[in-house]
Amino acid sequence: MKKLYIVRKFVNIEGGAKHFYEEEIFDTYQLAFNFMKRISDEDEDIFLSEIVTFYINNKHYDEEKETQIFNRQGNLIFEQKNDEQINIVNTFTGKFSIGDIVRLPPFPWNNFSPTCIETIGVVSKTPISIEEWQASEKDIASWDDNYIVEYIRDGYLGHWHVKEDGIEFYKKELPDNLLFLNKLSQHYLNIELLPAEILKKIHNGNIFIEKINHFNFEER
């Protein structure tokens, strides 16, 4: 079975989608790798590169493929075969709790992350354990093992559904512009509740919650 190697330069956007800026096809991995190394060092570090290996049988693409993603320096970040399955049941531990302040490392440095921007947020919902799910006689295939993590983006509150392997504890002081996350954490920990009407407006995107500094036009 013949192989083709497609090299692409791209940037990630929110939600895991990609914007492609360059693409070439090669019939050997070495030619593809050399091209990837050349284009990886051309632009700013927002760009990543990937080599996708396709298998061709009787002039048709096979569904099986392999993907390697490289950073700007051409160093391998991760690789994955299309038929690889991640056993979420074995990796879920329930180590995060409602109210925890957490960090979402960006994709593709973390393959489970839903965002390409490093994000700090607060856990607002946790999955029930797989044992509880099975005890309720529900289908294991429909078990939702995602946490909900609320975060601030462009001044307003948003949220991601994230698997446990895409989350880390955040152990530093919050940046000044994200101090509202402390209040949100205390609310979910039942330490200091936010008024229900205010929280509703925040979730509806009607209240700006990011602390910003304004330019002082009086200063010389």
Taking the C-alpha atoms of residue 159 and residue 208, their distance in angstroms, rounded to an integer, is 15
Which residue carries 């995107």 as its tokens? 205
Answer yes or no: are the C-beta atoms of 130 and 156 closer than 8 Å: no
Residues 6+ apart with CB under 8 A from 83: 64
100-129 confidence digits (pLDDT tens): 999 999 887 887 888 888 999 999 999 988
Answer yes or no: are the C-beta atoms of 150 and 126 closer than 8 Å: no
Taking the C-alpha atoms of residue 192 and residue 170, their distance in angstroms, rounded to an integer, is 21
Taking the C-alpha atoms of residue 51 and residue 61, their distance in angstroms, rounded to an integer, is 16
Percent of the chain with pLDDT over 70: 84
Whether pLDDT at 88 is above 50: no
170-200 confidence digits (pLDDT tens): 999 999 999 999 999 999 999 999 999 999 9
Q: Where are the domains of the chain?
A: 2-81, 90-203
27-60 confidence digits (pLDDT tens): 999 999 999 888 876 555 567 888 888 887 755 5
| pLDDT reported for residue 28 | 92
Q: Which two tokens stand for residue 90?
A: 């074995």
Taking the C-alpha atoms of residue 90 and residue 84, their distance in angstroms, rounded to an integer, is 15
136-148 confidence digits (pLDDT tens): 767 666 778 889 9
What's the distance, Cα to Cα, between the start and end of the chain in Å? 71
State mean pLDDT over 65-87: 72
Answer yes or no: are the C-beta atoms of 105 and 116 closer than 8 Å: no
Whether pLDDT at 78 is above 60: yes
Taking the C-alpha atoms of residue 167 and residue 116, their distance in angstroms, rounded to an integer, is 13
| pLDDT reported for residue 134 | 75
| Superfamily of domain 90-203, CATH level 4 | Hemimethylated DNA-binding domain (2.30.30.390)
Amino acid at position 176, single letter = D
Pairing label, strands 18-26, 2-12:
antiparallel
Using only C-alpha atoms, what is the Rg of the chain? 22
Taking the C-alpha atoms of residue 18 and residue 12, their distance in angstroms, rounded to an integer, is 5
Name which of 50, 84, 55 is nearest 67 in CA terms.
Answer: 50
| pLDDT reported for residue 130 | 77
Please give the mean pLDDT across all residues of the chain.
84
| pLDDT reported for residue 14 | 63
